[in-house]
Structure 1
């Protein structure tokens, strides 16, 4: 009965030009709405989730974007992969690769931070973001496998010419290095999401200008930016930036 009432209220609100949004969807509603439109317009069939952590983006696109297709997640940290593997059995269209992605293949030392969401190949810088100091500090160093995305897609037999693909990258200052390992794949992605920084939280990480210039040179246009975190003075530290490929839009 409650579900029927909710459906009636939602339908009535839409007929009147309004949208009823549950509180749990408010924070990222606009981002989910944009991705829903992009996924629909581009007929997205596969999502690459680079830097999966414990599956936050997977949950976001399944539950809020309402994407039901194939998802391939990449996560280099061993204990996080163990946690993800326990979740994989619930979704036949979700797979996981225990690897990092980068410009060159090999092994690299990954800084696993006190809070795993901050883990990075780069060294932390907390001079301008002191509220992150407790969490964005090296807890241990883990040697991880690094592969080039172009090679991985070949191994996975994902043909970007016939499989409309979206890629999300969240590698804490290393996103452009991931794309540097995908010169053949990048022009074929329909759209992508990357994290951009206004206030650096790692030494040597790309700036917002660096990222926008890189994407412009790759013939992608900015579709939306959504704050991820702010400092104590309410200044935005990082955004999720969504770009669309001008070849397809």
Structure 2
């Protein structure tokens, strides 16, 4: 199975432009043989907590139908980020599309203190089964909390999909934490970060993949859009520009 993290620069609050950017990235990922492509946290709107309530949608919204068509076309799992309308408020969600299946939505269960004024936590864990592998979604802050990573292998997860929006400091923390959990739980870890302005910080890219032995395989730069890829069967890795 070939995993790809899509490192993109989202346009704050602009679904139309961001969906177009996602579509381009999916086509490019398919050209490199991707089975799975994961985007950064809140990738369809940018990480903009103050705008999230007004931008929140339901996972079934028709503007997302294009991702189901792409998933069906390429046989690919596509995981995008968006604010969604939950029972208790706006949630930070990863909406996943798989060929021939109903889309699924995982919402961030462990929120950072700065997010509490704007978001409600999700309450349901989720794993995804695709191409013979089990993948556990994780969204930014919670992916650095040991309790969250501990639950993934209990569900049989072989891949930890970390969709994030991190500053340089956050990337440094991730680079020390993810190799440890990869090795401890024998899971590949995929981190998809964004680049550019996000809320009150600058996202620092550095999207990376670690294998199940905790070895860093490939990473993207700090300020450009790119795809990073890892084939779990062959061990092949690659970094591809998004122009």
Q: Same fold (TM over 0.5)?
A: no
Identify the structure with the greater strand proportion.
Answer: 2
Structure with greater Cα Rg: 1
**TM-score, structure 2 normalization:** 0.40
